[in-house]
Amino acid sequence: MTPSRIRSEVFLVTSALFIAFVLWLIAKQAELEIDRLMVPVTLVNVPEFMEVKMEPPRVTISVQYPSDVRNSVVERNFSLEIDPRELFDEDPTKWVTPTVAMARDYVLDENMVEKNTARSVRVTAVEPESLKLHASLRWREVRVEVRTQGELPDTHQLTQPLKADPDKLLVTGSRDALNALAEADDTLWTESIDLSGLKTSKVLFLKVEIPENLFLLERPDASIEVDVGLTEVTLTQEIEDVPIELIRFQEVEVQVIPQTAKVKVEGPISLLEQIGPGDFEFETQGSLDERPGEVQDIGVEAKFKSRVPQEVADGVQIIECNPPRITVEFKETAAENEPLGEAEEDSAP
């Protein structure tokens, strides 16, 4: 047999085998069946602080399979799971608009469909090509209250109630954590301020106590500002035995009845401690006829002497003087009352 004849026969055999294989494939292809199933979509790994809804909740898949496994091609043997963390940040503090729901398209393909069937079953298509996911945070608006311990010194008081700035915050968290917050009247507390150690006004930066599984929104940290305004306690005090010293301009002897008064003042304790009975003088409410033998009943008004520190004079208010009126009698001076007989004796020759 010549070489050319051998090659010719090999070609014919190979061609015959190829044609047989193609015919076999066509026959096998004719045995495959195609079906369409409705498959539910399941959300997995949804963070506790997030609520996710999807449209539509089911998809249609096209399945190709040999006829001998037809009984296994049922809906329960197929599933499609979606993880929303692929589209939405699982850190709630990074959500730019935490109170507004966000929508994203989740693209699907046939490789995402899980099947519990023979390997010969093949998913060829998924409809629709994408799902719409709507995600929102569970959130609540809460009040912030300032926690305190101890008492202010008796000498000081608050100018206004302690208030956090800001006094309202947004929080998110698990369903259980938010329910517990609602039971606590939607209130969070700051770390404690020790009032017993405060003596001056100051601004404090305090941490807000955040329960477990709760997160602050729209704030970089849990620090808030508290303006602590303090002022000294104002008391009313009556100073007794204040000598009644009148401001006079003529050299005449004067006698007042009574000779002392009580002066009621009001002011901070630290300033009241700096004044005493000798720090007052009196002005008459009207003019005096400063002539010897003259007796007048006149109203008086107490005032601080010039030696009293300006801080005390400005910070302490004189409320009243008791008695409000006195009797003033003017007398001749000792020189005016000198006996004339002695003078005449000195001038005799």
Q: What are phi and psi of 229, to 5 degrees?
A: -100, 125
Beta bridge partners of 339: none
Residue with tokens 């104002």: 234
The residue length of the chain stands at: 349
Query: What is the chain's pLDDT, residue by residue, as a tens digit (349 residues)?
Result: 566 666 666 666 676 666 666 555 554 554 789 999 999 999 999 999 999 999 999 999 999 999 889 999 999 999 999 999 999 998 888 888 888 899 999 999 999 999 999 989 999 999 999 999 999 999 999 999 999 999 998 888 899 999 999 999 999 999 999 999 999 999 999 999 999 988 889 999 999 999 988 999 988 888 999 999 998 888 899 999 999 877 655 667 888 899 999 999 999 988 999 999 999 999 888 887 778 878 889 999 999 999 999 999 999 999 999 999 999 888 877 654 444 344 444 434 3
- Domains contained in the chain, CATH given: 33-137 (2.170.120.30), 139-232 (2.170.120.40), 234-331 (2.170.120.30)
Q: What are phi and psi of 164, to 5 degrees?
A: -80, 145
On whether the pTM is more than 0.85, the answer is: no
Residue with tokens 């008004």: 301
Q: How far apart are CA 144 and CA 137, in angstroms?
A: 21
Pairing assessment for the beta strands 32-43 and 78-82 based on DSSP bridges:
parallel
